[in-house]
């Protein structure tokens, strides 16, 4: 009985195949070719969209000098906590999560991969590990103790802005002035101008050795003009934040601008 049932099913399938062959032969060749072309183009477009979505970066890298408050900001983004502001990191903190401010947001929200790279000079090379996947870089500056650290911050920022991968991929950079809740903190405009002045000095001193410097393959600014961040090939913006109080709305706006929800 089972064998008879199988034979009947086999015969039915063969009949269907023959019917399909007849229908195909009845279709004019031009229409058949056009239909095949449409199907192939649709499949190609679908695969292209899937590939683009899969490879689109969703990593935002936090970096800056040690003590600028990067790790506190990392925890504010993740769980809305400052961890009492006593956090020190010697290894990168990283995680993929929905921003704390969006946890109760209705609808689908895309998680973000946030990486907090330690600011100690010996640990900065770890930054290079995350740049290929970076959708954006957040350079955190201590607005309270800015002047004593201005030179060091400018040198580190210069190194980032002249990295080949940053220039080629035009990775956007946000200079985040942290600790602005303090009365004696400097404004973002003051910090921007001072950084531009220091980088202008660095540009002059480093241009002479740039050809022999394999890590800094690109020069900054326009020759003969005073340096400004607007001259960079990638977008560089300045914003304010307070990791301790949780005021990081400008940072969250930058994250969502480059990692779409």
Q: HEC string of 19-64? A: HHHHHHHHCCHHHHHHHHHHHHHHHHHHHHHHHHHHHCCCEEEEEE
Higher per-residue pLDDT: 1 or 174:
174
Express each pLDDT in 52-75 by its tens digit.
Answer: 454 578 999 999 999 999 999 999
CA dihedral sign, ordered 161, 163, 164, 168: negative
Q: Which pLDDT band holds residue 218 (cuts at 50, 70, 90)?
A: confident
Indicate if 11 and 87 belong to the same structural domain: no
- pLDDT at position 219, please? 82
Give the residue numbers spanning the domain of 43: 2-53
Tell me the CATH number at 236. Answer: 3.40.50.300
Q: pTM surpassing 0.95?
A: no
Statement to judge: residues 9 and 104 lie in one domain: no
Burial of 223: CB neighbours in 10 Å, binned 0-12, 13-18, 19+? exposed
Same domain, residue pair 18 and 72: no
Mean pLDDT of the chain: 83
Same domain, 117 and 23: no
Instruction: Kindly state whether residues 73 and 40 are assigned to the same domain.
Output: no
Please report the pLDDT score of residue 207 as a whole number. Answer: 66
What pLDDT digit, counting tens, does each position of 22-39 carry? Answer: 665 666 766 655 556 655
Return the structure tokens found at 199: 């980088």
Residues 45 and 146 in one domain: no
């Amino acid at each position: 009985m089972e064998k008879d049932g199988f034979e009947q099913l086999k015969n039915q399938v063969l009949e269907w195949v023959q019917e399909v062959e007849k229908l195909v032969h009845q279709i004019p060749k031009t229409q058949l070719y056009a239909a095949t072309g449409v199907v192939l183009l649709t499949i190609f477009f679908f695969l292209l969209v899937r590939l683009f979505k899969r490879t689109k970066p969703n990593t935002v890298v936090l970096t800056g000098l040690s003590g600028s408050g990067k790790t506190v900001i990392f925890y504010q983004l993740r769980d809305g906590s400052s961890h009492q502001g006593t956090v020190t990191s010697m290894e990168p903190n990283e995680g993929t999560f929905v921003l704390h401010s969006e946890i109760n947001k209705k609808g689908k929200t895309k998680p973000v991969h946030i990486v907090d790279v330690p600011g100690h000079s010996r640990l900065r090379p770890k930054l290079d590990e995350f740049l290929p996947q970076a959708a954006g870089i957040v350079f955190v500056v201590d607005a309270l103790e800015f002047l004593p650290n201005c030179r060091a911050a400018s040198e580190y920022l210069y190194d980032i802005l002249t990295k080949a991968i940053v220039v080629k991929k035009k990775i956007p950079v946000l200079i985040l002035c942290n600790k602005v809740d303090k009365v004696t903190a400097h404004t973002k405009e003051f910090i921007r101008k001072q950084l531009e002045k220091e980088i202008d000095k660095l540009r002059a001193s480093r241009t002479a050795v740039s050809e022999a410097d394999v890590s800094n393959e690109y020069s900054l600014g326009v020759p003969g003009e005073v340096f400004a961040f607007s001259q960079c090939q990638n977008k560089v913006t300045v914003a304010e934040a307070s990791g301790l109080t949780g005021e990081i709305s400008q940072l969250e706006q930058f994250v969502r601008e480059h990692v779409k929800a």
